[in-house]
């Protein structure tokens, strides 16, 4: 299993030294909100093939009929040991996850995307040493046609991680929000700041350009494309904590609008589209000792409203969600806040 480092850290320790900063980033937990799911799978949930190892802070994607997962924070005994370059693929006609060509460099929070017939990986953080865990990156790669080598892709205008990356109805690749270095320093979590930037790429060999900025500066949001529009939901900011904001971008008009907010502010969540609706899962909170959300939601664009769906059997944050054949695969993450109890779980939600 490829690893770039071998050191022990929790995300809270990694982020700062930590109490004060994460207290600032803490979200307000609504009264009566559930924080745990029971251990039995609900009627709409089933178990998928577990990952080869526990991993969190991931952005998997669907490409060429298969689910691809690369990078992230890996763990032993539930606790983070460092980032990985490992790349695995799951296909519905094969048992278990299969190893594929690893990333050129180990990264956590890299964005995987299928665009222009190619599989890409962009941004995220590298960790060159225990004191340099959050080195934000702007470079990216495409996997070559043979699937044997990653080749250089157009670099982002600035280093960025914890963003939302989506393809839109006009054939562009979009990166919205996230965190980038506030100044020259680029090694610690506190060196990064929340962004409203919005960049678009017009083809695998094109160049990134600026588009209408996001209305809300946030990181650790999630999103999906529905009917050619891009939906960005949830996430958090260092100053304001978790947010329920839901913003929709129309690429034909280069314009954002506000949509119905999530019923609950959840940061570090995952989202996917299925059947013309948006589904959102999990996330974490840091107040009152911290925890992970079990709540899951569905948004209907035709009615501009949200409804609760069956809670996650095993609540997680820092997870991914990918739709395949009408089912949503909810992948990896951590079962406790920060870097604790990292999971290899894959659970499948069928709307």
Where b means 16+ CB within 10 Å and e means fewer, 38-60 reads eeebbeebeebebbbbbbbbbbb
Q: What is the pLDDT of residues 245-300, one digit of tens each?
A: 999 999 999 999 999 999 999 999 999 999 999 999 999 999 888 999 999 999 99
Q: Which of 54, 114, 118 is nearest to 84 (CA)?
A: 54
Strands 229-233, 246-250: pairing is antiparallel
HSE-CB at 327 with a 13 A cutoff on CA atoms is 18
pLDDT in tens, 232-245: 999 999 999 999 99
Which pLDDT does position 7 carry in this prediction? Answer: 36
Average pLDDT over residues 298-314: 98
DSSP track, 222-246: EEEEETTEEEEE--EETTTEE---E
CA distance 96 to 88: 10
Instruction: Name which residue leads in pLDDT, 157 or 39.
Output: 157
The bridge status of strand 284-285 relative to strand 277-281 is unpaired
DSSP string, 5-29: ------HHHHHSS-HHHHHHHPPPP
Percentage of the residues of the chain whose pLDDT score is greater than 70: 88
What residues does each domain of the chain span?
11-25+34-349
Q: Is the pLDDT of residue 20 over 50?
A: no
Q: Is the pLDDT of residue 3 over 60?
A: no
d(C-alpha 60, C-alpha 52), whole Å: 14
- Of 140-144, 231-235, 335-339, give the lowest mean pLDDT range: 335-339
Average pLDDT in the chain: 90
Report the phi/psi class of residue 173: left, alpha or beta, with left for phi > 0 and alpha for psi in -120 to 50.
Answer: beta
The answer to whether 321 and 309 have CB atoms below 8 angstroms apart is: no
Does residue 33 register a pLDDT over 70?
no
Range with the poorest average pLDDT among 13-27, 72-86, 291-305, 321-335: 13-27
pLDDT at 18 over 70: no
pLDDT band at 85 (very low <50, low <70, confident <90, very high): very high
How many whole angstroms separate alpha carbon 298 and alpha carbon 286?
Answer: 24
pLDDT beyond 60 at 325:
yes
- What pLDDT score was predicted for residue 41? 65
Q: Mind listing the pLDDT tens digit for each residue in 176-221?
A: 999 999 999 999 999 999 999 999 999 999 999 999 999 999 999 9
| C-alpha torsion angle, residues 202, 203, 209, 213 (rounded to 10) | 60
Supply the pLDDT for residue 8. 35
Summarised one tens digit per residue, pLDDT across range 60-81 is 999 999 999 999 999 988 789 9
CA dist., res. 80 & res. 123, Å (int): 20
Q: Which string of DSSP letters, residue by residue, matches 293-348?
A: ---EEEEETTTTEEEEEPPPSS--BS-EEEEETTEEEEE--BSSSTTSSB---EEE
CB-facing half-sphere around the CA of 307: CA atoms within 13 A: 7
Give the pLDDT of residue 79: 81
Rounded CA separation 175/19 (Å): 30
Average pLDDT of the residues in 324-338: 97
* Residue 156 reports pLDDT greater than 80: yes
d(CA 104, CA 107): 9
For 11-25+34-349, which CATH class?
Answer: mainly beta
Structure pTM? Answer: 0.89
The answer on pLDDT for 99 being more than 50 is: yes
Of residues 8 and 298, more confidence is placed in 298
pLDDT on residue 170: 86
Among 304, 236, 312, 291, which Cα is nearest to 268's?
236
User: What was the pLDDT predicted at 43?
Assistant: 75
25 compared with 112, residue with greater pLDDT: 112
> In this structure, what are the phi and psi dihedrals at residue 46, rounded to the nearest 5 degrees?
-140, 165
H/E stretch holding 75 reads strand 73-76
Cα dihedral: 189, 192, 193, 194 (round 10): -80
């Amino acid at each position: 299993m490829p690893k770039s480092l071998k050191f022990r850290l929790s995300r809270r320790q990694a982020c700062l030294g930590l109490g004060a900063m994460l207290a600032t980033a803490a979200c307000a937990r609504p009264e009566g909100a559930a924080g745990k799911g029971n251990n039995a799978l609900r009627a709409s949930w089933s178990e998928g093939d577990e990952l080869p190892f526990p991993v969190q802070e991931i952005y998997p994607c669907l490409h060429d009929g298969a689910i691809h997962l690369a990078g992230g924070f890996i763990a032993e005994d539930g606790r983070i040991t460092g980032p990985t370059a490992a790349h695995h693929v799951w296909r519905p006609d094969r048992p278990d996850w299969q190893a594929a060509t690893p990333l050129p460099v180990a990264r956590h929070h890299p964005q995987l995307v299928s665009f222009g017939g190619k599989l890409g990986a962009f941004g995220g953080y590298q960790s060159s040493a225990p004191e340099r865990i959050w080195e934000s990156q702007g470079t990216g790669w495409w996997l070559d046609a043979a699937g044997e080598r990653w080749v250089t892709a157009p670099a982002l205008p600035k280093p960025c991680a914890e963003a939302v990356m989506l393809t839109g109805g006009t054939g562009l690749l979009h990166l919205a929000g996230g965190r980038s270095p506030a100044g020259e320093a680029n090694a610690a979590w506190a060196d990064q700041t929340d962004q409203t930037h919005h960049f678009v790429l017009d083809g695998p060999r094109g160049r990134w350009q600026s588009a209408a900025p996001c209305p809300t500066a946030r990181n650790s949001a999630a999103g999906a494309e529905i009917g050619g529009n891009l939906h960005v939901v949830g996430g958090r900011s260092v100053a304001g904590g978790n947010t329920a904001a839901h913003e929709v971008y129309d690429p034909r008009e280069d314009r954002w609008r506000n949509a119905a907010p999530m019923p609950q502010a959840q940061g570090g969540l995952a989202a996917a589209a299925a059947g013309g609706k948006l589904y959102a899962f999990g996330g974490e909170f840091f107040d009152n000792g911290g925890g992970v959300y079990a709540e899951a939601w569905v948004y209907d664009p035709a009615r501009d409203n949200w409804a609760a769906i069956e809670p996650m059997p095993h609540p997680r944050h820092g997870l991914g969600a990918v739709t395949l054949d009408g089912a949503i695969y909810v992948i990896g993450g951590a079962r406790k806040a920060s870097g604790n109890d990292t999971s290899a779980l894959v659970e499948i939600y069928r709307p």
